[in-house]
């Protein structure tokens, strides 16, 4: 019986530590919602394009090498102007601030 209490206490302590590591009420990154709405269909939830998309078009994987060669400003430029036939401009769909948030979110995806 005592062992059961020790297990419960250890689990409670672990949950308390996990909660302390994540700020209470921590909001999602500002760029996540527009990315999810407009980008994930082609670029995937975590930056890896789905195989069905890759069969139709060339879509980069968002990883460390992607962000190593692209600044947030260059990502915003692509969002503003589009790229090639497949990546259309998001001007009119996203505000400049939202584009910046999406660019920062894209760079963050590579870190995880």
Q: Which residues of the chain have pLDDT under 70?
A: 1-25
Q: What is the pLDDT of residue 80?
A: 97
Q: What is the pLDDT of residue 110?
A: 85
| Entry pTM | 0.74
Q: What is the pLDDT of residue 3?
A: 47
Residues in the chain: 112
């Amino acid at each position: 019986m005592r062992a059961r209490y020790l297990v419960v206490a250890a689990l409670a302590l672990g949950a308390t530590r996990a909660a302390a590591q994540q700020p209470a009420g921590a909001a999602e990154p500002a760029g996540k919602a527009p990315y999810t709405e407009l980008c994930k269909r082609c670029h995937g939830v975590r930056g890896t394009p789905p195989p069905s998309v890759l069969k139709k078009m060339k879509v980069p994987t968002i990883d460390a090498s992607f962000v190593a060669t692209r600044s947030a400003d260059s990502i915003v430029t692509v969002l503003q102007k589009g790229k090639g036939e497949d990546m259309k401009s998001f001007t009119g769909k996203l505000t400049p601030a939202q584009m910046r948030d999406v660019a920062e979110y894209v760079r963050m995806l590579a870190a995880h």
